[in-house]
Amino acid sequence: MTRSRILVCGLLLALSARPCFGTGPSSSEQRLRASIEADQPHAIALLERLVNQNSGSLNLPGVTAVGKMVRAELEPLGFDVQWIDMRATGRAGHLVATHKGNGRGKRILLIGHLDTVFEPDSPFQRFVRNGDTATGPGIGDDKGGVVIIVSALRAMHAAGTLRNADIKVVLTGDEESAGTPLEAARADLVAAGKWADVALEYEELIVDGGQDHATVARRGVADWELTTTGITGHSGSVFGNTLGYGANYELVRILDAFRRELPEPNLTFNVGLMVGGTPAMLEPGGARGSAAGKTNIIAERAVARGDLRAMTPEQEARARDRMQAIVAAHLPKTGASLVFDDAYPPMAPTEGNRALLAMLNQVNADFGLPAMKEWDPAKRGAADSSFVAADADVLAGLGAAGEHAHAEGETVDLASIPRQALRSAALIDRLARMPR
């Protein structure tokens, strides 16, 4: 099926025209609902097991162990599950599971991740349930999302709708701290995106003011490092023809020009760390630095690190070019260089992505669930879904609802798991029945 066909279908739904899938759930979709409701004890028990196994990005055995738990869930459903070893990049690996259907429907990629930000030395390690709320490391980001994927696929299997679906599940083991080089770390995900027609991503569901939201766009992110140099000497000669302005003034000139000249909607450029003096340097990894100097010495070297976030590849390229032009306009007797690290690409808000949201909202209408609005992409971080956005239509933020991600006390709303699993199972089922 071509992108144009799903776009037409989605736009019809968005315009409240004749629905592509009727005005209510089919009998098989009713079975999906019943299966998901009956399966919740299994889903919550799986969530508890996943959370209680530490899988910080740098805990390679822990990430591998979580992958084995998920393998045990997917293989009985007919998935061919592979573990892609990524120790060459400094990380554990990725789980890639493939279900071969009849080859006629849309190819659907489901994206999540196995790792968390909580390493084994964190005091936050255990699943704790209190009614409809549970707390634990990575419970929402992204183990709740993994459970929703499993729950939706188990329901499809029980309802008999999985057999004809062509589905690939990619759960990365390093989403929170990507291995290097990034090109190698994301090669399998990019390949899956080229295979797929549609990608659904299971990072946290955004709930704001009681309203569920979906994500049709994410900004990309690239880290940068700016280094400036000057001629050191007695401060009495600063600004003169011999010694010029020094590295610190050159650094400040450039950063202030970024602030004044770069702003445009959906573009941000943060400065997270600066050091300057004689000497000045960053430690390996770029998260710490040191500098020395005196008030009467002109700074010889300065370094700043930050990030650049953009909505589209064109916007990012435009910002990079402008930044390099600003850097090149040196103050007298100074020099500067700007280097960009590997980047997460943008996931632009395409018509195809919005058509997927329209289809999801038809599912919501058919099942009596609240419609979902677009979430502001400036309020979401970069994620793995961006790596497939150039090749497939993408809908993101289909995971569990919760609070305090990346912090001790991270929670998940357990009632959001069956709601999201039902939405996913029905949407996947409908996509799988759409001719390619």
Domain boundaries, the chain: 3-218+347-432, 220-344
Residues 377, 266 contacting (CB under 8 angstroms): yes
Of 227, 279, 290, nearest to 255 (Cα)? Answer: 227
The per-residue pLDDT for 21 is: 53
CATH number of 3-218+347-432: 3.40.630.10
* Cα–Cα distance, 190 to 94 (Å, whole number): 13
Please give the C-alpha separations between residue 427 and each of 29, 100, 306, in angstroms, as whole numbers: 10, 18, 39
127 — pLDDT class (breaks 50, 70, 90):
very high
Residues 176, 117 contacting (CB under 8 angstroms): yes
Residues 17, 9 contacting (CB under 8 angstroms): no
Of 232, 217, 238, 204, nearest to 113 (Cα)? Answer: 204
Share of the chain above pLDDT 90, in %: 90
Q: Find the mean pLDDT for residues 264-275.
A: 95
Q: Find the mean pLDDT for residues 422-434.
A: 97
Q: What is the pLDDT of residues 135-171, one digit of tens each?
A: 999 999 999 999 999 999 999 999 999 999 999 999 9
The per-residue pLDDT for 25 is: 81
Q: Which residues pair with 226 in a beta bridge?
A: 304, 338
Please give the C-alpha separations between residue 327 and each of 130, 315, 331, 337, in angstroms, as whole numbers: 54, 18, 10, 7
Fold (CATH) for 220-344? Alpha-Beta Plaits (3.30.70)
Of 75, 73, 93, nearest to 83 (Cα)? Answer: 93
The per-residue pLDDT for 15 is: 37
- Three-state secondary-structure class, residue 54: coil
Of 116, 330, 95, 72, nearest to 226 (Cα)? Answer: 330
Q: What is the mean pLDDT of the chain?
A: 94
Q: Find the mean pLDDT for residues 414-424.
A: 98
As a residue count, the chain comes to 436
The per-residue pLDDT for 5 is: 47
Indicate whether 2 pLDDT > 90. no
The per-residue pLDDT for 288 is: 92
* Cα–Cα distance, 183 to 167 (Å, whole number): 24
Indicate whether 357 pLDDT > 70. yes
Indicate whether 279 pLDDT > 70. yes
Residue the block writes with tokens 């032009």: 325
Give the end-to-end CA distance of the chain in Å, rounded to a whole number.
Answer: 2
400 — pLDDT class (breaks 50, 70, 90):
very high
The per-residue pLDDT for 243 is: 98
* DSSP letters spanning 348-410: ---HHHHHHHHHHHHHHHHHTPPP-EEPPGGGS---GGGGGTTTSEEEB--S-BEE-TTSTT-
381 — pLDDT class (breaks 50, 70, 90):
confident
* Cα–Cα distance, 56 to 301 (Å, whole number): 36
The per-residue pLDDT for 293 is: 96
Please give the C-alpha separations between residue 168 and each of 96, 201, 315, in angstroms, as whole numbers: 7, 12, 31
412 phi and psi angles, rounded to 5 deg = -140, 145
Please give the C-alpha separations between residue 76 and each of 24, 71, 79, in angstroms, as whole numbers: 30, 9, 7
- Three-state secondary-structure class, residue 418: helix
**Which of 103-112, 125-134, 375-384, 388-397 is predicted with the least confidence, judged by mean pLDDT?**
375-384
Residue the block writes with tokens 């450039």: 254
The per-residue pLDDT for 3 is: 53
Q: What is the pLDDT of residues 8-62, one digit of tens each?
A: 454 444 433 334 555 678 888 899 999 999 999 999 999 999 999 999 999 999 9
All residues at 6 or more sequence positions from 345 whose CB lies less than 8 Å from its CB, including other chains:
220, 313, 386, 387, 389, 390
The per-residue pLDDT for 342 is: 76
Q: Find the mean pLDDT for residues 410-430.
A: 98
The per-residue pLDDT for 28 is: 83
* Cα–Cα distance, 191 to 173 (Å, whole number): 16
The per-residue pLDDT for 9 is: 55
